[in-house]
Amino acid sequence: MIKKINTKTIKLIKFYNLINYNLIYNNKAINRYRKENFEASEDKIKRLELLKRSILNLKNCDLKKQAKNIVFSDGNPKSKIMLIGEAPGANEDQEGLPFVGRAGQLLDKMLSAIDLNREKVYISNIINYRPPENRRPSEEEMKRYLPFIKKHIEIINPKILVLLGSTAMNALIGNEVVISKMRGKWIEKQFGNCSTSVIITFHPAFLMRQPGQKKMAWVDLKMIRDKKIKLKI
């Protein structure tokens, strides 16, 4: 039976629409202006969709055949801060989102220590599909996915690019460098039309295995915080 909506209810609906109740009754302050904060330009959204589609159309990739989901990105496509990790693990593969497992929880804590969160940054990985047993991606796999992550950086156009761990560093900076020497420094890099300040820091999964290195990661995080202030991000 269809219930009749009485005039009182209709008036109430009209009133709620008028006062934009979504804005007022959202109990999370961060969500109040979420739509506006997240709405990247149509062109950016289209370019991201095209990029995702070209990864989905990739042929002859064993990683893709074995994975449950593509892990493309998370966060705010309008952000001027982009973070890049290595590759999805089991949780990420399940959910189709980067850094949702234990390493992701630590990453969230690291971000929050410098007043950042997933609403304020954009996150992706060098490889978009989970390598079996969470092994490090092979050289060949990294080569295959490199054009995609470079394009991804160019589309997001960050002012600050944070490379998490040695895989991201080796893929985007070079194989001849070691993370202990490269972390905690700003490097100016160009990806297509995007000029960005790159900083390398330890991967959160490494920090879980080597908690003694967290103090160095804290130095890097403070550098990111200072740069953010300097660049008025």
207 or 224: whose CB is closer to ligand URA? 207
User: 48 vs 87, which CB is nearer to ligand URA?
Assistant: 87
Closest CB to ligand URA: residue number: 85
The answer to whether the CB of 228 falls within 8 A of the CB of 77 is no
From the CB of 98, what's the least distance to ligand URA, in Å? Answer: 3
The residue among 92 and 220 lying less far from ligand URA, judged by its C-beta, is 92
**Closest separation in Å from C-beta 89 to ligand URA:** 5
Q: How far apart are CB 78 and ligand URA at their closest, in Å?
A: 21
Which spans of this chain sit near ligand URA (rule: CB under 6 A)?
85-89, 92, 98-99, 103, 125, 205
DSSP string, the chain: -PPPPPHHHHHHHHHHHHHTHHHHH---GGGTTHHHHH---HHHHHHHHHHHHHHHT--S-HHHHH-SS----EE-TT-SEEEEES---HHHHHHTSSS-SHHHHHHHHHHHHTT--TTT-EEEES-SSPPGGGPPPPHHHHHHHHHHHHHHHHHH--SEEEEESHHHHHHHT-TT--HHHHTT-EEEEEETTEEEEEEEE--HHHHHH-GGGHHHHHHHHHHHHHHHHHTT-
83 or 160: CB nearest ligand URA: 83
- Least Å distance, CB 127 to ligand URA, is 9
Q: Work out how close the CB of 199 gets to ligand URA at its nearest, in angstroms, rounded to a whole number.
A: 16
CB of 17 to ligand URA, least distance (A): 40
Distance separating alpha carbons of residues 182 and 177, to the nearest angstrom: 7
Comparing CB distances to ligand URA, the nearer of 32 and 150 is: 150
Nearer to ligand URA, 48 or 123 (CB): 123
